């Protein structure tokens, strides 16, 4: 039986362009390996390698990594308004007593921006993810 990768748990599939919003190499490395043909970008308007005519305007997913409540609030202010056209949006946060963030906290905060949580997925022993949709 093949173990499901973190990228697969976050619904990142073949050929996806994923905007990864993370602070550390550890956070962004959690998505490795990406499915075949999937590309991770670090900036909203980054050019996609091997496609010089296209900026990453058609982003298929976004993954925001946060490690504290303060970072979550700050990042929501900065990034959530930019995510409206992206079909798959996740907020990933540490678990196991490493942070005060909880699914309910995320739900309460994103509601102020017109979003709601729709799915909660444990990613590994240290991280969990919550998928968002616009209300």
- Return the residue matching tokens 């990228």: 7
Please report whether residue 1 resides in a domain: no
Instruction: Determine the Cα–Cα distance for residues 40 and 62; give it in Å rounded to an integer.
Output: 9
**What is the rounded distance in angstroms from the CA atom of residue 103 to the CA atom of residue 71?**
15
Count how many domains the chain has.
1
Per-residue model confidence (pLDDT) at position 35: 94
Say if 97 falls within a structural domain: yes
pTM above 0.75, yes or no: yes
Q: pLDDT digits over 14-52, tens only?
A: 999 999 998 788 888 899 999 999 999 988 775 555 555
Tell me the sheet residues that pair with 91.
64, 130
67-116 pLDDT tens trace: 999 999 999 999 998 888 899 999 999 998 888 899 999 999 999 999 99
**Structural domain span for residue 110:** 6-57+66-134
The sheet with strand 61-65 has its strands ordered as: 39-41, 17-21, 61-65, 88-94, 127-134, 115-122
Tell me if 30 sits within 8 A of 6, measured CB to CB: yes
For residue 43, tell me if it sits in a domain. Answer: yes
């Amino acid at each position: 039986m093949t173990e499901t990768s973190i990228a697969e748990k976050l619904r990142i599939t073949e050929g996806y362009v994923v905007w990864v919003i993370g602070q550390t190499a550890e956070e962004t490395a959690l998505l490795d390996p990406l499915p075949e043909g999937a590309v991770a970008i670090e900036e909203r308007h980054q050019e996609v390698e091997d496609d010089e005519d296209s900026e990453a305007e058609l982003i298929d997913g976004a993954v925001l990594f946060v490690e504290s409540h303060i970072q979550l609030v700050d990042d929501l202010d900065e990034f959530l308004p930019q995510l409206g056209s992206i079909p798959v949006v996740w907020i990933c946060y540490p678990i196991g007593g490493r942070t005060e963030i909880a699914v309910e906290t995320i739900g309460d905060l994103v509601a102020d921006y017109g979003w709601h949580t729709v799915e909660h997925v444990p990613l590994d022993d240290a991280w969990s993810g919550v998928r968002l949709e616009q209300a």
